[in-house]
Amino acid sequence: MYRILIVDDEYLIRNGLRYAISWRDIGFKVASEAASAEEALYKLENIHVDVVIADIKMPGMNGLDLISIIRKRFPHIKTVIISGFDDFSYSVTAMKMEVHDYILKPINKNTVISTFTALKQKLDDEHQRQGIQQARENAANKLFFQRLLNNDFLNKEEYLEFVDRHGITYPLGECCVIAIRIKQLALMVKEQFNGSRNRLEEALDDNLKKVNRKLGLEQSKSFSVINGDNYSVLATEDIAEELSLQLKEAMSGLAISFDIGIGQPTDDLNYISVSFLQAIEAINENASDKPLYKFTSDTAKKEMDVSRKFYLSKLVIQKIEEGKYEELDSLVATIFEEFEGSDLNIVFNWCVNSIYSIFDYFSLNSFSNKKNFNDFDITVISSDFSINAIKDAYKQKLNKVKEMMNSLHASSAELVVKKACEIANAEYMDAELSLQGIASRLDISYGYLSSVFKQITGENFSVYFTNIRMNHARRLILEGEYKIYEIADRVGYTSARYFTDQFRKQFGVSPSDYRARF
């Protein structure tokens, strides 16, 4: 049943609308009444309503002013106007406010039934679309989080493109991973969930939803997924510990044996895989009976932990990609200070893997055969297998990388960026267009294109591409030929809600308000 609020200063009108219509027969229920616009706003703050039916002429705030406020504060609510004025100007104003219908007094019962029968069909259709959209958003959120945990995104630029393409809204600020390691997961899935990991994940997701509601957290920004033997949750730093404790309490009713670990926070989701590794390390390194295990600097073993090695390797690539070569020396110094006292073979292997990763990321194999990397460096340091010798060899290799990157930039950077911009401007309406795809078409590495694009244009490709789409969206809004969701589709957004959020960030107002103003 959809819930109605009747707003009219005349008691007889309110009473007649409430009792003269068999609302349940057409799928509605009168939730409440209000004798003024002010009273209506108070009630809307305190009860759930799907439809407001309001008189235009009332003492104080009139019906159109009320609807204007409803559109801003409660955009999901549908509105119907009733009036004794058959005035074209009122009709035009009501249409601009996207009022569903305009009913003239004296009110005809059949007209009301016909109007609300059509409105119910509209609400049903919208709810069905929202259900499908919600399922798509949940699937996209899980895939996004899974790829973050697995370090599948090359850099921040790539995950921002994925976010734009799928209309994902993620939490801002410092975030960390809560990892819930489920003991004997395969056996438990078989015995308690008929062999279905999906059913287990649904049960865990239901628990998370309950906890989110209890803590007043937005469901749309909730990210969770089963990853290996772990159920992982993305949390903002300020609520991570409380959320973990609440999840622990909620999961106790599922007869599941588990441990909970919390990784350290990061303000860049590209490093959330590091937080995940830290959460796992926190569980592995603690044998005491604590409610949860939190990764701290004391968690690490004598040898540098895996998560830290992984983080430093990513950081070296990031500095090269951003062209911040002057910061590499200090970063290398920091890395080797942390390696002090470690097994030299572990240090050497990290250096080899780091260089391999750099060569792969920027596709530098055509400049040098990386298979000879080990032999080259073993020759260099064979007479003095010390941490300083390994450090010097690593720095030499980074200097070689710098020379290769500078050579690439000098020979083709401007032409490559020009072609990338041409593709972006020509194909902005393609929801699947990405920098990764453009790099493949130009037969160059994603890492190289991402690096030179920012250095030449002064901004990331995702920012440049969003600006193109928003400017075209603004043009289409002002032309007035298309609905907002149609404009979203025409400029490459699969989610009208996400498009609206991006438009508001760009121009300070929603697409509807922008159209109304200009």
Residue 326: inside a domain, yes or no? yes
Strands across the sheet with 258-262, in order?
A: 224-227, 230-236, 175-182, 258-262, 293-294
Do residue 223 and residue 260 come from a single domain?
yes
pLDDT at 383: 55
Query: pLDDT-based confidence at 59, cuts 50/70/90?
Result: confident
pLDDT (mean) for 25-53: 92
Within a domain: residue 177?
A: yes
Q: Based on the domain organization, do 313 and 291 belong to the same domain?
A: no
Q: Domain boundary residue among 276, 299, 322?
A: 299
The answer to whether residue 173 scores a pLDDT higher than 50 is: yes
| Per-residue model confidence as pLDDT tens digits over 423-458 | 999 999 998 898 989 988 988 888 888 888 888 888
Does 351 lie in the same domain as 289?
no
Which of 43-52, 96-105, 317-326 has maximum average pLDDT?
43-52
Average model confidence (pLDDT) across the chain = 84
Confidence label for 86 from pLDDT (cuts 50, 70 and 90):
low
Same domain, 269 and 328: no
Buried b (16+ CB within 10 A) or exposed e, 239-258: ebbebbebbbebbeebebeb
279 with 335, same domain? no
Quote the percentage of the chain above a pLDDT of 70: 90
Asked if 235 and 176 touch (Cβ cutoff 8 Å), the reply is: yes
What is the total count of domains within the chain?
Answer: 4
Give the residue-averaged pLDDT of 194-219. Answer: 87
> Is residue 136 included in any domain, yes or no?
no
CA distance linking residue 433 with residue 437, whole number of Å = 6
Tell me: do 261 and 316 sit in the same domain.
no
Residue 423 lies in a domain: no
**pLDDT reading at 104 higher than 70:** yes
Position 300 scores a pLDDT of 47
